[in-house]
Amino acid sequence: MPTTPPILEVHQLSKHFSRKRSVLSPFNRRGGTIPAVDGVSFYLRQNETMGLVGESGCGKTTVARTILRLTQPTSGKIEFDGRDITHLTDTEMRPLRRDMQMIFQDLDAGLNPKMRVSDILKEAITVHERVSDAEVEVRSRFLLDQVNLQYSKLGSYSAELSGGEKRRIGIARVLAVGARLLVADEPTSALDVSIQAQVVNLLRDLQKQLGLSYMFISHDLQVVELMSHKVAVMYLGKIVEMGVTERVVSAARHPYTYILWSSLVEKQNREATQPVRLERRATWGVFDFERPFRGCRFAPRCPVFEKRGRPAECTDPANEPQLRDIGGGHQVACHFPLGV
């Protein structure tokens, strides 16, 4: 893993959304908020990729939007390049916007279908600085080289581009403004499988060339494994396991991580070799912020909790498991981690 200084440090970050009021509101035990992100801490070094995984609704996009200050955090601290940016105003954030950019799942995000690629790139190149037309032309061609597109695409309208080409132009736009931290939220999910591999390779090449830092969010665990130096696994607003990718993937210690990856292994018809054999539960799939109210939030779905006879530690409201280092920077939030 690279040992450059952190570009991003996040401390106890929380984002609670207000619940829409309904006729059932008076019976809602959690009051008026959804704790979409609930005390998340991590750091990301220059030239490093952190994968962020977890089921739909666990808070990945909210983490991404909050660290880029597209959403206001409820509490916690965000440091970029050693500077506390948690409470900067929009005006104070503006110069930092060129450093930290988001790549959205939607391939059309930011691509006006009525604009030619040349104008889209020009807009990005000139957003923060005055640049002559001749310089814009040179930089645009350089950007197309970087994302492996032909110069002839400069004359195309974005509506005429394929999905893969749109994604490349989206990446060229964030390079045009000089971004150093890229938060990619499902950057490959809207693409065909063959194109996904090309985009992943492109992002990896650009990281090597430009020393970029990535936060990479994806449902595709194989892609996350391929892209990431380290992985954080989220469950219901909290990181439950985090560490170097190989360790989290091949020696998962949190039951949730283990189940996530073993379902991928099952899919690939490989045999799992973990110390505890876990069965996927019939209730798998549906979850929400209402459950559980006490102790470990994974307890209602945790096979280890069942196997150990529902130990009191797991449901003790004063003892919610917190991330702790089990060696080598591998952190797990579980009272009974697997194989430890």
Ligand X SMILES: Nc1ncnc2c1ncn2[C@@H]1O[C@H](COP(=O)(O)OP(=O)(O)OP(=O)(O)O)[C@@H](O)[C@H]1O
- Spatial separation of the C-alpha atoms in residues 156 and 179, rounded to whole Å: 24
**From ligand SF4, ligand X, Mg ion, none, interface partner of 58 (C-beta below 5 to 8 A by class):** ligand X
Amino acid at residue number 265: V
Q: At what angle do helices 193-210 and 163-176 cross, to 10 degrees?
A: 20
Least separation in angstroms between residue 58's CB and ligand SF4 is 14
Least separation in angstroms between residue 322's CB and ligand SF4 is 10
Least separation in angstroms between residue 185's CB and Mg ion is 6
Residues from 48 through 87 that contact Mg ion (CB under 5 A): 61
Least separation in angstroms between residue 60's CB and ligand X is 4
One DSSP character per residue, 197-262 reads HHHHHHHHHHHHHH--EEEEE-S-HHHHHHH-SEEEEEETTEEEEEEEHHHHHHS--SHHHHHHHH
Residues from 282 through 321 that contact ligand SF4 (CB under 6 A): 296, 298-299, 302, 304-305, 314, 321
Q: Is 161 a residue that touches ligand SF4 (CB under 6 A)? A: no
- Spatial separation of the C-alpha atoms in residues 255 and 161, rounded to whole Å: 43
**From ligand X, ligand SF4, Mg ion, none, interface partner of 335 (C-beta below 5 to 8 A by class):** ligand SF4
Rounded to 5 degrees, φ, ψ at 220 are: -85, 100
The span of 39-47, 54-62, 277-285, 329-337 binding ligand SF4 (CB under 6 A) equals 329-337
Q: Helix, strand or coil for residue 325?
A: strand
Looking at beta carbons only, is 118 or 188 nearer to ligand X?
188
Residues from 207 through 266 that contact ligand SF4 (CB under 6 A): 255
Count the alpha carbons within 13 Å of 12 in the hemisphere toward its beta carbon. 3
Joined tokens for residue 336:
């009974």
Least separation in angstroms between residue 297's CB and ligand SF4 is 8
Residues that bind ligand SF4 in the complex, under the rule CB under 6 A: 255, 296, 298-299, 302, 304-305, 314, 321, 334-336
